[in-house]
Amino acid sequence: MRKRLFTGVLVATMAAASLVSTTAASTAATAKIDYSKCTSLVSCGGMDALVKAAQKEGKLNVITLPRDWANYGEAMDLFSKAFGIKITDDNPDGSSAYEIQTVKTAPASKVPDAVDVGITYGADNSNLFAPYKVQNWKDITPTYKDASGRWYGDYAGVIALSYDTSIAKAPTSFNDLKDPAFKNQVAIGGDPSGAQEALMSVFAANLANGGTTANAQNGIDYFKALKDSGNFVTALANGQNFLAGAYKVSFSWSFNGPGAVATAAKAGKTLKYVIPSDAVIKGTPYIMAIPFNAPHPAAARLWTEFLYSENKGKGSMNLGSVKGLTGSKIFSSINGGQNIWIAGGALPIEYDAMVAKGTNAAAPAGYAIPAGAKIVTPSPADQDAAKALLKAQWPAIAGN
Strongest mean pLDDT among 7-16, 292-301, 338-347, 361-370: 292-301
The CATH number given to 38-155+285-357 is: 3.40.190.10
Other C-beta atoms lying within 10 Å of the C-beta of residue 323:
5
Class of domain 159-282+370-398: alpha beta
Q: Are 145 and 151 in contact (CB under 8 A)?
A: yes
Across the strands, what pairs with 59? Answer: 86
Q: What is the 3-state secondary structure (H, E, C) of 22-52?
A: HHHHHHHHHHHCCCCCCCECCCCCCHHHHHH
Query: In degrees to the nearest 10, what's the CA dihedral of 91, 95, 98, 100?
Result: 120
Q: What's the rounded mean pLDDT across residues 348-360?
A: 94
User: Can you spell out the DSSP letters for 100-132?
Assistant: HHHHHHS-GGGS-S-EEE-HHHHHTTGGGB---
- Helix, strand, coil content of the chain in percent (nearest 5): 45, 15, 40
Confirm whether 38-155+285-357 and 159-282+370-398 share one CATH topology: yes
**Torsions phi, psi for 334 (to 5 deg):** -105, 160
| Among the listed residues 158, 154, 197, the one whose alpha carbon sits nearest the alpha carbon of residue 336 | 154
Domains in the chain: boundaries: 38-155+285-357, 159-282+370-398
Conformational region of residue 305, where left means phi above 0, alpha means psi within -120 to 50, and beta covers everything else: alpha
One-letter identity of residue 9: V
Which pLDDT band holds residue 31 (cuts at 50, 70, 90)?
low
Confidence check: pLDDT of 96 > 90: yes
- The string of pLDDT tens digits covering residues 154-205 is 999 999 999 999 999 999 999 999 999 999 999 999 999 999 999 999 999 9
